[in-house]
Structure 1
Amino acid sequence: MKLSTALFLLFTTISTSAYAAHGLALGQQVLHPAGFQSFNYVNPNAPKGGTFTLPLPGGFDTLNPFTLKGDHEAGVGTLTLDTLTAKGQDEPFAMYGLIAEDMELAPDGLAVTFKINPKARFQNGDPVLAEDVAASFNTLTQDKAASPQYRFYWADVDRVETPSKRTVVFRFKKPNAELHMILGQLPVFSHKSYPKGLAAGANAIPIGSGPYRLSKAENGRLSEFQRDKNYWAQNLPTRKGMYNFDTVRFKYYKDDTVRIEGLKGGNYDFMQENTARHWARSYTDKILAKNNLSKHDWTQQSTAGMQGFVMNLRRKPFDDIRIRQALMLSFDFESLNNRLFYGLYTRSNSFFTNSEMAATGKPEGRELAILNTARSNLPAAVFTKNVPEPPKTDAVLGIRPNLLKARALLEQAGYRYQNGVLVDKQGTPLAIEYLTYSKTFERVVAKWQRDLAKIGIRLNIRLADPAIYQQRLNRFDFDITTVVYGNSESPGNEQFSYFSCDAAKTNGSQNWAGVCDPAVETLLKRFENFRSRDELVAVARALDRTLRHQYIIIPNWYTNRYRVVYRDTLGIPAKQPKYYSATDWILSTAWQK
């Protein structure tokens, strides 16, 4: 069914200004009016200058941000490249002009046209032209060396055309509710960047048009960027008051101890702390004061997505839902939260945790109607029972009652308890491996390891080098590991990379669990076509409910707070965005006083 003009107006509000398209919003009006000067969560008069240093985990062995292989340096992709549009962080999904000064969705919903701002310049002095946009898109979606996430994300684009030097048209295979929006997120680099393909430029920096240039990269442990003082977009509404530091430096670390001691030694200007134990014990006011540092606790309203121990359904015994249920029952979150996390976390319960898109109770209304379209491929429990919630540990009896339930499920699956070990019909012990690169998670999983041993399951913990870990993750070479399904306020095409059959068979995709299910395939198509925010919420709830009934992940935890430490000389905008990442917001909007 083609989108009508009226439906187009419901999806998108567009008006032009002297610089670029005023804005595109999905399912509602844009927040920032025509002629706005800057976003509300920046200081438009922020001074330029100074140095900003951040710690980052791991390391890097490539400066090319697009390849599937290698550990990527973080700043090249985020600081040296501009996109067609920039996201507004006070709205669920709104995009405003950056490289594109004019954007127009065809009345039938089968094409979107971007007109390039004539001021846009690459860092080598060349103008940004339509051929560069086309080359960027084709490289990311067709080059075999590229990460497959791009191909899945823009899968419904049929072709890209360049009718004039500064006009680029994306034509769609079929209407897709958000495709014209997410194409605005395309990182644009010069067509001169990879003339022989990504594989030939495996360590090559793309020629970008962003606010910074890479100035130094040392031994995979340090990278440094210098602000482009002639940055072409610095006075656009979508860049005013942003990217203020003259120098941005990333220091990579392998171990949390190095990171913490580095902060205490004054090596970093800002750090987000995600480990409760460190937050509670590692940063005393006396130590921080020596380097003009202080702790801050910020609230945030963003969808938390889902962090958890994902099980690889491609492997036995995880293809048996009873095994997956038993493993979920055996994880004692409450004890971990009390003993290790200082009670700072809440259990994640949904792939859209902390949002209106999380399924609750039994399906009804619009969500039920959507589920009915896949009813023949769904178990009756999806319709007759409440959506599964993570099990809780008994306050008095502890994990024992849950372990007894888990043992019963394991017996139903054909296992028997023999001499303290769980064995299958052939007498083979049930042993599984948890793969991680983090010593923090190694410590957390140790409690689970002991509890599994009580019901005869041997859990081996494999601590791998970050590079080896990423290689194994890309090949789906694991039993269980920790992943994060990062979801936004407007979920869409990224769900295909998470849960589609095509992604399950593609190395490097984000379908870590190996989900390939006809009901899920039906529901994924609904993310392509929806007519309102209410319908999108219902679609997300339907998918969430379906996945939770499959028990593909053992939910971890989340917090609606950002715990951060930063130098008192750092200038911070007075207003925080509604939906934001703490580190990204500070990097893009803070300044040195």
Structure 2
Amino acid sequence: MTAAVLLSPIFTAPKSLAEDTKPVHASAPMRMHAIAMHGAPKYGPDFTHFDYVNPNAPIGGTIRQGSQGSFDSFNGFISKGEVVDGIGNIYDSLLSPSADEAFTEYGLLAESLEVPEDRSWITFHLRPQAKWHDGQPITADDVKWTFETLIAKGAPSFRYYYADVDKVEALDPLSVKFTFKSNENRELPLILGQMAILPKHYWATRDFEKTTLEPPLGSGPYKVGTFETGRSITYDRVPDYWGRDLAVNVGQNNFAELRYEYFRDASILVEAFKGGAIDFRNENTSKIWATSYDMPEVKNGQLIKETVSHHRPQGMQGFVFNTRRDMFKDPRVRSALGYALDFEWSNKNLFYGQYTRTRSYFDNSELAATGLPGADELKILDPYRGSIPDEVFTKEYHPPTTNGDGRIRDNLRAADLLLKDAGWVIQDKRRVNEKTGEVFSFEIILIQPAFERIVLPFTKNLERLGIDARVRTIDTAQYIERIRSFDFDMMVSSWGQSMSPGNEQLGFWGSAAADTEGSSNYAGIKDPVVDDLVKKIIAAPDRESLVTRVHALDRVLQWGYYVIPHWHIPYDRLIYWNKFTRPETVPMKGTQIGTWWYDEAKAAKLNTSRGQ
């Protein structure tokens, strides 16, 4: 599962499924208020709000957040331009997820839904009071048009993501039915529920395939207010928002204004925050967290610095090999380069001991594969013997380790043996291909200058192996374009994961996505076994089988050496000016900034103490 475009990660791809599933004959489906991926929804049809919100939270105030880079478009549904942060706040989707369940969605635009036991189709019944910001009603025709437009004109990833939809029908003005090509993709009804719905009448006179800086028409809790292209944008809370009192919205969207200030450089952004130009940061740099906030304002309570634990899967961040490049096609080469990353030294000297080494594509969750495959996993993996590494069956994967003192001769010796075995030898102190004479040289592209201090020790170790690894930090627009077109040798990137993996996995690892510009298969993985395992995950009938199938995929990816794993932390690092209050309950998915509110008393006290 991955959230809809504009609301979080990039859209990715779907599937055609491998396992045979017998049709289920059942009585006609009843209308439901919610749908869970597995099991039953936590909240019943009469629930009034989620447990992790304050239903009496006051409304008002502004929260200012910082963004890095620039923006030149409000259209986040196409593969063009730099999309402005926060634009997802202007749209509503058919369903709304909860943050304290693995994957359950409740009615938002849809008042109710119908789905048969085999999940071969779904019908959404829209709320009659739902309307666009211009007052026009939201209809089934809008839903149908949105789906068809995203398939025909949207980013390529939509076509993969929704590939199993056979047809969409507007049954009446408020009912829309999606029929699927098979009944094997149990996640697809929920995936469609995440789709941001667009106004057909608005786009009738506009070119959907172009970038735009005209504020789009939406139906959500906010609309575009003032903005300065590439520098800042403010979203204004819609006072007569049609969905304000729905249970899924109670206690959320509490700020009168959401503001994003843009900065070209991360260091300038941090200084702007410390100066009071930004209100809130979810800090992702260990050095900044450890050294930049040693301020009187933290000690006297004007700034709140805290860690908030969560139970989100951490996904995988790492140095990503582009296996479309000849030099990275051999897994022995990819394995060898992993020995040049001295995480233990970096954690001690660069990260202030804050991180844990990532070893799984689903770390910090029950989805991470540990130990050796159990009986249930072996039933899945055994048919692939000979097509996947033997280590999948015999070893628990761990990245190479060191003692942290910077002396890694043993690791480099192991890397040298692997490289020689793969045909890369030393000549005149340079690593070359013994058959072609090609010099082992590649480029690592970055978007954040702050990451250079982390990459450079890695390239120094590669230099000791005779490998020329160059580091190049480029601007945001160029970086986005090069990633979209897979024009890189190695980059730093990550794949976020949810508690309920599904469709998006084919976009991450699927063979079809490897050849589709703009997909998230950055590594260029084209492996029929991986394709098959992802299809099994998508078709998992229950939670237990889902976990087992994810473990199997995790092992195959681990031993494929597609990335050199980085690190993670099982908590959010938050720092913010003391003018906000958040609910006491933190859901398993961690900090939900939409549930916070502006505290007038705290803000007044802060202003007084700062002489404002």
TM-score bracket, normalised by the shorter chain, equals over 0.9
Matches within 5 A, 1:141-290: 141-143=151-153, 146-175=154-183, 176-195=185-204, 197-200=207-210, 202-288=212-298
Change (3 A) 1:301 1:360: same
- 2:376 match: 366
The structural deviation recorded for 1:3 is: 4.7
Distance between the aligned counterparts of 2:213 and 2:27, measured in 1?
45
Letter in 2 for 1:427: G
- RMSD value, Cα: 1.9
Change (3 A) 1:56 1:588: farther
The structural deviation recorded for 1:357 is: 1.0
Quick check: 1:592 aligned with 2:599? yes
Letter in 2 for 1:429: V
Distance between the aligned counterparts of 1:547 and 1:317, measured in 2?
19
The match for 2:396 among 387, 399, 402 is 387
| SS at structure 2 position matched to 1:82 | coil
The structural deviation recorded for 1:416 is: 1.6
Letter in 1 for 2:594: L
The answer to whether the Cα contact below 8 Å between 2:31 and 2:114 also exists between their aligned partners in 1 is no
Distance between the aligned counterparts of 2:452 and 2:406, measured in 1?
26
- 2:24 match: 4
Change (3 A) 1:511 1:101: same
Letter in 1 for 2:443: E
- 1:433 match: 443
The structural deviation recorded for 1:290 is: 7.9
Matches within 5 A, 1:85-104: 85-104=95-114
* Range with greater deviation from structure 2 (254-263 or 311-320): 254-263
The structural deviation recorded for 1:199 is: 1.8
Distance between the aligned counterparts of 1:155 and 1:373, measured in 2?
27
The match for 2:423 among 397, 402, 414 is 414
Change (3 A) 1:552 1:342: same
Distance between the aligned counterparts of 1:366 and 1:217, measured in 2?
55
Quick check: 1:33 aligned with 2:41? no
| SS at structure 1 position matched to 2:341 | coil
- 1:572 match: 582
Change (3 A) 1:6 1:307: farther
Distance between the aligned counterparts of 2:23 and 2:83, measured in 1?
39
The structural deviation recorded for 1:377 is: 2.8
The match for 1:530 among 534, 540, 558 is 540
| SS at structure 1 position matched to 2:158 | helix
The structural deviation recorded for 1:136 is: 1.2
Distance between the aligned counterparts of 1:15 and 1:106, measured in 2?
10
Letter in 1 for 2:374: E
TM-score (structure 1 length as normaliser): 0.94
Change (3 A) 1:402 1:376: closer
**Percent identity at matched positions?**
37
Change (3 A) 1:171 1:205: farther
Distance between the aligned counterparts of 1:89 and 1:207, measured in 2?
27
Distance between the aligned counterparts of 2:350 and 2:505, measured in 1?
33
Letter in 2 for 1:286: P
The structural deviation recorded for 1:197 is: 4.3
The structural deviation recorded for 1:150 is: 2.1
- 1:446 match: 456
TM-score (structure 2 length as normaliser): 0.91
Unaligned runs of 5+ residues in structure 1 are none
Distance between the aligned counterparts of 2:102 and 2:186, measured in 1?
15
Distance between the aligned counterparts of 2:367 and 2:561, measured in 1?
18
| SS at structure 2 position matched to 1:74 | coil
- 1:45 match: 56
The structural deviation recorded for 1:592 is: 3.2
* Range with greater deviation from structure 2 (419-428 or 194-203): 194-203
| SS at structure 2 position matched to 1:489 | coil
Change (3 A) 1:547 1:80: same
Letter in 2 for 1:592: D
Quick check: 1:111 aligned with 2:131? no
Letter in 2 for 1:57: Q
What CA deviation, in whole Å up to 9, does each residue of 1:132-152 have, x standing for no partner?
A: 111111111221xx2223222
The match for 2:68 among 57, 68, 80 is 57
| SS at structure 1 position matched to 2:169 | strand
Distance between the aligned counterparts of 1:550 and 1:543, measured in 2?
11
The structural deviation recorded for 1:394 is: 3.2
Distance between the aligned counterparts of 1:126 and 1:485, measured in 2?
38
| SS at structure 1 position matched to 2:304 | strand
The structural deviation recorded for 1:287 is: 4.0
The answer to whether the Cα contact below 8 Å between 1:572 and 1:591 also exists between their aligned partners in 2 is no
The structural deviation recorded for 1:361 is: 2.2
The answer to whether the Cα contact below 8 Å between 1:64 and 1:205 also exists between their aligned partners in 2 is no
Change (3 A) 1:421 1:376: closer
The match for 2:488 among 478, 483, 487 is 478
Matches within 5 A, 1:329-348: 329-348=339-358
Quick check: 1:130 aligned with 2:140? yes
The structural deviation recorded for 1:121 is: 0.7
Distance between the aligned counterparts of 1:107 and 1:197, measured in 2?
40
- 1:302 match: 312
The structural deviation recorded for 1:205 is: 4.2
Distance between the aligned counterparts of 1:287 and 1:530, measured in 2?
51
Unaligned runs of 5+ residues in structure 2 are 1-20, 601-612
Distance between the aligned counterparts of 1:178 and 1:365, measured in 2?
26
- 1:505 match: 515
What CA deviation, in whole Å up to 9, does each residue of 1:482-523 have, x standing for no partner?
A: 111111000000001011111000000000000010111111
Distance between the aligned counterparts of 2:292 and 2:511, measured in 1?
44
Quick check: 1:68 aligned with 2:76? no
The answer to whether the Cα contact below 8 Å between 2:81 and 2:211 also exists between their aligned partners in 1 is no
